[in-house]
Structure 1
């Protein structure tokens, strides 16, 4: 009798596990299918406002010819306190560089991701101070996620080179030159067996798909020594999952300091579907699919209080990685060239 009861319990447990597993797989495929057209993102139209008249104006498109040399895209969600200092530092650097080099042109695109504090007010103060030609604000209306905010900024920027950077100023803005130099070096390598940039009057850096990723990997040894063991375990596990999901090439996918040529941004950000936690990983995956040269460059980074990422973010990251893997590998998420 006891043996029968034990076998019955085992059978019930196995049945329960199978039901849970089937439910999880069904949920993954349902959600991946639901997001198959997420790269259109029609529910979050980009809105640009004239800060004086407050009337909506047309946003530029990534398909238009470049009008600036460098675009800096800053996603901002409830960044009223951290944004001013980071923006002042950024604008000081850009103005000093423009004063030294008359051919250098730039724009800063602040994407307000549905903030409910004074982020929009702070952003418009910088528009008024530095003119709308140099600083623009894109409003998303409600919160969609950092990935969507960056995507919108990229698709409505005017630069030959497009840099995404965080609103907290964790990475020093002058490190942009490290990424910029690397992109130019890779571009020269790409032309090694063809027309050289110097001999091609139509050559523009924006025409060659290249990406440069700022990296904190050089700080990892120090971080491993200072963090709790379980945080190191979770981080190592996450890195392994990222490697399996996105492929090799980039060790630090989560650093918020990345640069793309206009051609690379056009390919990547018209296909990206993840809006929040792991859009960075999806960029690496797509970069590998398109065979876009991706280079990792060490940058100066410091931790700024107020981070919105914590250990509770890990389940969300893993969920998005599963969705990405299933979506692309099943063919539900089609890649447009």
Structure 2
């Protein structure tokens, strides 16, 4: 059964930050969307992340548990493929981009885009709290490489606030294979290769304490980046992918 909007939240050891985010997300959706679901994908957490989700007592908030930590990319992929929404929002567990920014992404999809991605790098973006100098430097270098090798023309592939057309997202995420830091770049590379429009939209963003990304994560991301073209070198045309037998439909 389809719903109007699905919100996918990947979570790894997020018992501290997730309750506030769930309250903010569900309260906002209750005012703007009559038909919604929230899917929290617990990516092998060792804390009370799962109990935090169950404590909401709302059957529209669904918990998906993975027994071991595989990475944010894997968690997002599991959530997107389990979603039922006509549109699907992926947002981080820290609510760094406030849920109210959904409205500006909705506008981009209303105009025909298949994906609308929040961006911290555009002139109109509002960074209320900035990252550390090290993380900003690593992020800029990483994005330069991503633009060169995977997603030309996108200034910020890594912001954790992205809205997708639901059916097209479920198609694209079936093709995705990367579990780590470059998973966002892989997904956007697939949208680009398939000729599906991606709109980059300026958003408000706050740097939150508790990030799971370490400098070593950028290094492993370079390895993943090198795999993107190799994984998808022989990607068939979009009209072939839309055939039910290639989508795994019964």
Give the TM-score normalised by the residue count of structure 2: 0.87
| 1:89 alignment partner, one of 9, 24, 37 | 24
> Does 2:146 match 1:185?
no
Distance 1:321 1:245 in 2: 7
Residue pairs, 1:262-301, within 5 angstroms = 262-301=166-205
Instruction: State the Cα distance separating 1:212 from its structure 2 match.
Output: 0.6
Residue pairs, 1:13-162, within 5 angstroms = 67-98=2-33, 104-126=34-56, 128=57, 130=58, 132=59, 134-162=60-88
Partner of 1:54: none
| 1:310 alignment partner, one of 210, 214, 220 | 214
Unaligned runs of 5+ in 1: 1-65, 99-103, 188-209
Q: How large is the Cα RMSD of the aligned pairs?
A: 2.4
Unaligned runs of 5+ in 2: 242-250
The 1:233/1:120 distance shift into structure 2, 3 A limit, reads: closer
Provide, for residues 206-263 of structure 1, a one-character-per-residue CA deviation record: whole Å limited to 9, x for no partner.
xxxx01101111378989x9864x7665443322210122132321000010011122
> Where is the helix percentage greater, Structure 1 or Structure 2?
1
Rg larger in structure:
1
> Where is the strand percentage greater, Structure 1 or Structure 2?
2
The 1:310/1:158 distance shift into structure 2, 3 A limit, reads: same
Poorly superposed stretches of 4+, deviation over 2 Å: 218-223, 225-228, 230-237, 325-329, 333-336
Tell me the secondary structure at the aligned position of residue 312 of structure 1: helix
Distance 1:295 1:307 in 2: 26
Tell me the secondary structure at the aligned position of residue 175 of structure 2: coil
Instruction: State the Cα distance separating 1:283 from its structure 2 match.
Output: 1.0
The 1:185/1:275 distance shift into structure 2, 3 A limit, reads: same
Distance 1:234 1:166 in 2: 20
Tell me the secondary structure at the aligned position of residue 10 of structure 2: strand
Distance 1:114 1:68 in 2: 27
Distance 2:140 2:23 in 1: 36
Preserved contact between residue 75 and residue 146 of structure 1 (Cα < 8 Å):
yes
Preserved contact between residue 127 and residue 204 of structure 2 (Cα < 8 Å):
no
Distance 2:127 2:55 in 1: 39
Preserved contact between residue 328 and residue 334 of structure 1 (Cα < 8 Å):
no
The 1:306/1:285 distance shift into structure 2, 3 A limit, reads: same
Give the TM-score normalised by the residue count of structure 1: 0.65
Tell me the secondary structure at the aligned position of residue 152 of structure 1: helix
| 2:95 alignment partner, one of 152, 156, 169 | 169
Distance 1:313 1:279 in 2: 12
- The number of aligned residues is 237
| 1:320 alignment partner, one of 224, 233, 237 | 224
Provide, for residues 89-148 of structure 1, a one-character-per-residue CA deviation record: whole Å limited to 9, x for no partner.
1111111224xxxxx31111111111110001101011x2x2x1x111111111111111
